[in-house]
């Protein structure tokens, strides 16, 4: 399979080169642009699978570029991750409404960016029947089941939904309120400690295959799914 192509659009040389270095090492084919103008040439000539677009660019804002690309049929398969120094929630919302698939705030770790990229590309290439894997776990969305080394791990429906959500959003911390909104639904009235109860049950089920530590508690912040070695 040919390497997937990633275009990095960022005028700050240090960040662009650092990002390019890590992503190339992870096996992607990398193209770099400092301006939206250069980016558009590479988008047409190289047909990247994903573009990482910085918010602040010299000739046009990254948000504007994202909006333009989203209106362009030629780039409808392109995945976009926005990069920004702004950490405010409203910027995140406008980035996502502008058509980005995800959003990452500077400074970020290469590992975090890589996890986001993998998740976005997986979703992009991901029909509902695909099998997701992380560490020893395999989640078969079509079959609605979780396996490890071919053996099924029995989960309750809420634990399954919780694991599915966390596996599709790895390496990110979600607090209880966010998990309630995303897994239980925004209008459901459930106490926050309900989340802890289901996390506990999920960990117990995953402990049979020594995967319970994939569900990590981040003190004072929430929970994170990570199958990487700690």
Contact footprint for Ca ion (CB under 5 A): 11-12, 54, 56
Min separation Cβ 8 and Ca ion, Å: 11
Q: Please name the helix (run of DSSP H) or strand (run of DSSP E) that holds residue 82, with its range, or none.
A: strand 79-84
Q: Is residue 223 a contact partner of residue 213, using CB atoms and an 8 Å limit? A: no
Q: Choose between 12 and 140: whose C-beta lies nearer to Ca ion.
A: 12
**DSSP code for 148:** E
| Helical H segments across 32-188, by residue range | 36-46, 62-70, 89-97, 110-124, 157-168, 176-179
The SS3 call for residue 103 is strand
Min separation Cβ 37 and Ca ion, Å: 14
Min separation Cβ 161 and Ca ion, Å: 38
Q: Choose between 106 and 161: whose C-beta lies nearer to Ca ion.
A: 106
Min separation Cβ 68 and Ca ion, Å: 17
Q: Choose between 15 and 23: whose C-beta lies nearer to Ca ion.
A: 15
Min separation Cβ 78 and Ca ion, Å: 20
Dihedral, CA atoms, 68, 74, 77, 83, nearest 10 degrees? Answer: -30
Q: Choose between 12 and 112: whose C-beta lies nearer to Ca ion.
A: 12
Q: Is residue 35 a contact partner of residue 10, using CB atoms and an 8 Å limit? A: no
Q: Choose between 33 and 146: whose C-beta lies nearer to Ca ion.
A: 33
**DSSP code for 154:** P
Q: Please name the helix (run of DSSP H) or strand (run of DSSP E) that holds residue 131, with its range, or none.
A: strand 131-134
């Amino acid at each position: 399979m040919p390497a997937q192509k990633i275009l990095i659009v960022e005028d700050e040389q240090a960040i662009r080169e650092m990002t390019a270095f890590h992503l190339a090492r992870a096996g992607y084919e990398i193209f770099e642009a400092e301006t939206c103008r250069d980016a558009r040439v590479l988008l047409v000539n190289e047909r990247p699978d994903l573009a990482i677009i910085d918010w602040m660019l010299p000739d046009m804002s990254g948000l504007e570029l994202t909006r333009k690309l989203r209106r362009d049929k030629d780039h409808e398969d392109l995945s976009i991750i926005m990069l920004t120094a702004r950490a405010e929630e409203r910027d995140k919302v406008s980035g996502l409404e502008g058509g980005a698939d995800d959003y990452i705030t500077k400074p970020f770790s290469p590992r975090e960016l890589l996890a986001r990229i993998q998740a976005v590309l997986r979703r992009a290439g991901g029909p509902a029947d695909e099998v997701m894997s992380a560490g020893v776990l395999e989640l078969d969305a079509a079959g609605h089941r979780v396996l490890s080394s071919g053996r099924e791990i029995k989960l309750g429906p809420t634990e399954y939904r919780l694991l599915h959500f966390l596996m599709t959003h790895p390496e990110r911390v979600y607090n209880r309120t966010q998990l309630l909104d995303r897994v239980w639904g925004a209008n459901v009235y459930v106490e926050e400690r309900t989340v802890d109860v289901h996390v506990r049950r999920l960990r117990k089920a995953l402990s049979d295959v020594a995967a319970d530590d994939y569900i990590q508690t981040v003190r004072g912040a929430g929970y994170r799914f990570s199958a990487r070695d700690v």
